[in-house]
Amino acid sequence: MNNSIHAPPAGVRLDVWLWAARFFKTRALAKQAIEGGKVEVNGAAGKPGKVVHAGAALRITRGEERFEIEVLALAEQRGPAALAQQLYRETEASRAAREAAIEQRRLLGADGKPKTKPDKRARRLIRALGDIDAL
């Protein structure tokens, strides 16, 4: 057996890197997002097998969040969140836009959750609307 230290990889698959950097919970979700056009690499549409190198610019859309990041380091294995955050740097414009969008959604109450439990009348209306589908 050779006990030499492995050199860092020259490039990593895009789906693996997104998973290792904790943008997506699984590689399958990362692959799905890439194939759905939610990830761009250096201004072009990404593919799951595309090799990412340090210095690449990524634009990632995850739900209502949009990230513009620069790849600083490569990783093939998922590690702690603190290490994952060292793999990339988000642009200041991206961070400001994302925080402004979060604040706007918070002020508008667009979280989609009811503020209170439905009262008796509302529960009856909800049940009645549910019965329409059965017809």
**Rounded-to-integer distance, Cα 100 and Cα 94, Å:** 10
Residues in the chain: 135
| Type of residue at 69 | I
| CATH for 69 | 3.10.290.10
Residue 41 lies in a domain: yes
Count of structural domains within the chain: 1
Q: Contact at 8 Å (CB) between 15 and 30?
A: yes
Residue 13 φ/ψ region, left for φ over 0, alpha for ψ in the -120 to 50 degree band, beta for the rest: beta
Report field, pTM of the whole predicted structure over 0.75:
no
Q: Which domain holds residue 120?
A: 12-132
pLDDT tens per residue, range 57-99: 999 999 888 999 999 999 999 999 999 999 999 999 999 999 9
pLDDT the model gives residue 116: 78
Residue 3 in domain: no
